[in-house]
Amino acid sequence: MEVHTNQEPDDSELFEHHRVIASQGQEPLRVDKFLMNFIENATRNKIQQAAKNGNVWVNGTIVKSNYKVKAADEIRVMFEHPPHEFLLVPEDIPLDIVYEDDVLLVVNKPAGMVVHPGHGNYSGTLINALIFHTDNLPANSNERPGLVHRIDKDTSGLLVVAKTEAAMTHLSKQFFDKTSEREYVALVWGNVTEDEGTITGHVGRHPKNRLQMHVFPDGEDGKDAVTHYKVLERLGYVTLVSCKLETGRTHQIRVHMKHIGHTLFNDERYGGERILKGTTFTKYKQFVDNAFKVLPRQALHAKTLGFVHPVTGKSMSFNSDIPADMEQCIVKWRNYSHNSTEV
């Protein structure tokens, strides 16, 4: 399976080009449904509109959205989206700033906020808010102003932002050298039997669903990834755990915990939005559905962030409270596990 994406400017518009080669085992599937598995934030309507505009090709021929993809097909799609300058418009969005000085700031990102603009998310991102708050943020290696690291849209918690080139270089090196401290709190399905442990296994794109990451235990693909976990509280059919990152791969905690059989609670991308543990009793199903409504996202919060200040050399550590939606969900499970005879 091959997937390529790039962006090429036209005279007045910017386009996103995606190329996917279907695997040899690909069963026949409509091209609009097929592409939804490979292009993040691309809705079926968006793909169908691209096909209507003649911007979906299979093996070099324009196709309609009902074309059935077959094994080894080469699929190309082109999306129009706003120019790069539009993506970086400053927006007056409130920021929860935990710390700030002349060279950096630490922000507590709410769940639901995308960190940087991209396909399907052209405004309302953390970067839009940051460039309104601070002028002349330095760009990282991906041309994203101020970002030293990132967290997923539906993950809440702490991020450090560089305000100078020197701070960007210094902080980025700490993350690369694995000397920064990053602790997350997660609610996962099942009873994690070991009180603590370490998960290893390379993390890379899933060979069949490019919107997911996948663990390659033998290191045959992906990049090395190490997560240290510790049980904080056992709540019957779910467990509250602390996860400390030694590396920082995309979706690392989400895919590592799934790999050991403990998918994050309500993590839709990895199957955690289904009832994975528990009973068949109707009351239990109603309870879990209510818990999903209380926490309509994956149960993951970046709680602790530590690093050495790039100018003073002082060790700095920051903590953030578990947000209300996740705390409320934890309390519901705590009450259920204490009061139920089913657990």
Separation between Cα atoms, residue 322 and residue 311, nearest integer Å: 30
Backbone angles phi, psi at 290, to 5 degrees: -65, -40
Secondary structure of residue 45 in the 3-state scheme: helix
Question: Which of 108, 93, 117, 110 lies closest to 40, judged by CA?
Answer: 117
Residue 152 annotated among the catalytic residues of the structure: yes
For residue 145, what are its two tokens? 């102003």
User: What SS3 class is residue 209?
Assistant: coil
**DSSP per-residue letters across 260-311:** TT-PBTT-GGGTTTS--SS---HHHHHHHHHHHHHS-S--EEEEEEEEE-TT
Spatial separation of the C-alpha atoms in residues 338 and 235, rounded to whole Å: 8
Spatial CB neighbours of 282, under 8 Å, sequence gap ≥ 6? none
Annotated active-site residue in 32, 152, 267, 325: 152
Active site residues: 152
